[in-house]
Each structure stands twice: as structure tokens, then as C-alpha cells.
Amino acid sequence: MTQNDGEFHGAKLLLFLGAQLLVIRRDRKPHIPWPGYLDFPGGGREGAETAVSCVLRETREEVGLNLRPADLTWRHELLQHDRRSWFFAANIEESGQADIRLGDEGSGWRLMAPNAYLERADAIPHFRDVLRLYLREG
């Protein structure tokens, strides 16, 4: 997955363990976007890291999973409010959930069917759009 990332704000991962999607409950801090909503692993870029490095680092920090670039099977660029972000998808074995360890962000994690995420009022709206796109393309 070598591609010029350009300037970007951050990266997120649609991480499937078997058929289930990993989601994180965002902290309920009023100063963050979408407090309390269901999020995907990922976050802001640090320094000059690539989008792949960013999403892998954030996934390791947030849920304790050490994925490799080869695990990433899909990528999508999202430009919203003049901010560019990258979304990736990866599929790992369902047994990988035994290795999940919530980091210091978020109040919990869970696995859910992708369609259940799409129906949730507490799912981040533009993340629902990206998930729909992945389900059509991926």
C-alpha cells in the first residue's frame, strides 16, 4: 500500500475480527469531537508519519493490537471541512479479540455486526458513510 498520503490530519481503521467490527466508545469529554459516540481505532498524525504508520500506531495504542501494513486491505481518502483523513480496513481472526487491551482513550470497546453500526444513532455519521462505502467496495 504505497501511495502518496499528502498532508493529512489522521487515520482510522475499520477493523474486522471475523465478521464483527471493532468499535470504541469515545470518552465523554466536551472538548473532543463526538463525545460518547462509537468510534473506530485511529487518530491524529504525529510528525511526518505516513497514513499507514499513523493508523497502525494508533491501533496499537488504543486497543493493543500489533497489525502489519500487509494486514491493511483497503484505503479511502476523506476530505471533510478542509481536513484530509485516511480510512483503512483490515480483517483478522476473531480469536484476536483475546489480545485487545483498551489504552488510555475511550471508555470501552465491543464487537458488533457492521449493519448494527450503520443503524446506531450513536455512530459517528461520516464514519457510517465510510463503512457503507467499504461494504460496497471491499
Please give the C-alpha separations between residue 116 and each of 51, 126, 131, in angstroms, as whole numbers. Answer: 27, 15, 11
- Asked, for residue 5, whether it belongs to a domain, the answer is no
- Asked, for residue 3, whether it belongs to a domain, the answer is no
Q: Where are the beta strands (DSSP E) in 54-117?
A: 72-80, 83-92, 108-112
- Asked, for residue 4, whether it belongs to a domain, the answer is no
- Asked, for residue 72, whether it belongs to a domain, the answer is yes
- Asked, for residue 93, whether it belongs to a domain, the answer is yes
- Asked, for residue 130, whether it belongs to a domain, the answer is yes
**Cross-strand pairs, 38:** 25, 123
Number of domains in the chain: 1
**Cross-strand pairs, 72:** 90
Kindly give the confidence (pLDDT) of every residue in the chain, 138 residues in length, as a single tens digit, with 9 standing for 90 and above.
445 677 899 999 999 999 999 999 999 999 999 999 999 999 999 999 999 999 999 999 999 999 999 999 999 999 887 889 999 999 999 999 999 999 999 999 999 999 999 999 999 999 999 999 999 997
| Three cell numbers, residue 61 | 495504542
Distance CA 75, CA 93 (A): 20
Query: What is the pTM assigned to this prediction?
Result: 0.93
Domain with 33 in it: 10-137
DSSP strand pairing (10-17 vs 83-92): parallel
Q: Which of 96, 67, 59, 86 is nearest to 4 (CA)?
A: 86
Domain CATH code at residue 64:
3.90.79.10
Radius of gyration of the CA atoms of the chain, in A: 14
- Asked, for residue 111, whether it belongs to a domain, the answer is yes
- Asked, for residue 1, whether it belongs to a domain, the answer is no
3-state SS class at 67: coil
